[in-house]
Structure 1
């Protein structure tokens, strides 16, 4: 895929195995599905479990996945520290989840603030006057913990969404990562 100036078009190669049909980017298997398909499934599970329980399930799974992703991407690209986190934010943004911007980060202290514009959840669900981006919270803590651990820091973190663009009068999502 070619990147157009001023866009978030992916610059990562997508390889498709002719025999298995598996899509791979940066040596990791990928899935490619329409946004509405994913969000409709997400909302169906939320309806059955309740948003609070589902958020807890997603936090744990997202933490584990982000930890693994950052570990593999750091190896694949030969990067470390804040560069891994910034690479993660870039890739999330390129994959249609929204535009993620690191506003502040201190790996040793275990603190980070991430801004989210154009959330896929908000774009699909609209103004529902509640936080709908809870799927991402575990991602930030998992990424921070993997990167901090790789640097020898002992900090463990937690993440929380403090605002969401699906809430009335809010323009963007905001996530805070803090030490446990």
Structure 2
């Protein structure tokens, strides 16, 4: 068992704030996140909860990718790979791009931190990641000079019995 954090954490000696690669961080227990998601679902329903957190998740992924692109000088494709890798280092799960044709993207998520709780409604519990994927892939597309928006959907989730979670993405113009 590893006792070291897999990312370099800097702690400001004056205020105690954490940062990793220049990004401010807060270390919170997983149950705090899952309990907040469960409360939102109880009050707003599955779809309402997903809609509530979608814009914030998208915006956060865009901010993270922009900061890391500048911090590391990464190419657009590499910044997405780095983002997904770093999510794994922070305990969210192991993301792997299984298909990326430009017209279709399939991302597998193994060991999702959100899939340990059952939603009770037969829906997956990892839908929050769809917006994160949209933000990251949209960022990379814009950085290549060929801006394109993607829409991701959680198509299977470990919380509902699947072996792992799967997300499918398509350009928005193909959604109709």
Give TM-score, length-normalised by structure 2: 0.89
Per the alignment, residue 98 of structure 2 pairs with 103
Give TM-score, length-normalised by structure 1: 0.87
Look up the SS of the partner of 1:174 in the other structure.
strand
Per the alignment, residue 143 of structure 1 pairs with 136
Distance (whole Å) between structure 1 residues aligned to residue 65 and residue 72 of structure 2: 10
Per the alignment, residue 153 of structure 2 pairs with 160
Query: 1:36/1:58 Cα in 2 relative to 1: closer, same or farther (>3 Å)?
Result: same
Per the alignment, residue 51 of structure 2 pairs with 56
Look up the SS of the partner of 2:114 in the other structure.
helix
Per the alignment, residue 81 of structure 1 pairs with 76
Distance (whole Å) between structure 1 residues aligned to residue 137 and residue 165 of structure 2: 19
Distance (whole Å) between structure 2 residues aligned to residue 18 and residue 110 of structure 1: 47
Aligned residues: 170
Distance (whole Å) between structure 2 residues aligned to residue 67 and residue 58 of structure 1: 14
Per the alignment, residue 37 of structure 1 pairs with 32
Per the alignment, residue 15 of structure 1 pairs with 10
Q: Does structure 2 conserve the Cα–Cα contact (< 8 Å) formed by 1:110 and 1:144?
A: no
Per the alignment, residue 116 of structure 1 pairs with 109
Query: 1:110/1:153 Cα in 2 relative to 1: closer, same or farther (>3 Å)?
Result: farther
Distance (whole Å) between structure 2 residues aligned to residue 172 and residue 49 of structure 1: 26
Distance (whole Å) between structure 2 residues aligned to residue 77 and residue 103 of structure 1: 24
Distance (whole Å) between structure 1 residues aligned to residue 142 and residue 5 of structure 2: 29
Q: Does structure 2 conserve the Cα–Cα contact (< 8 Å) formed by 1:84 and 1:147?
A: yes
144, 161, 179: which is aligned to 2:171?
A: 179
Q: Does structure 1 conserve the Cα–Cα contact (< 8 Å) formed by 2:46 and 2:123?
A: no
Q: Mind listing any 5+ residue stretches in structure 2 that lack a counterpart?
A: none
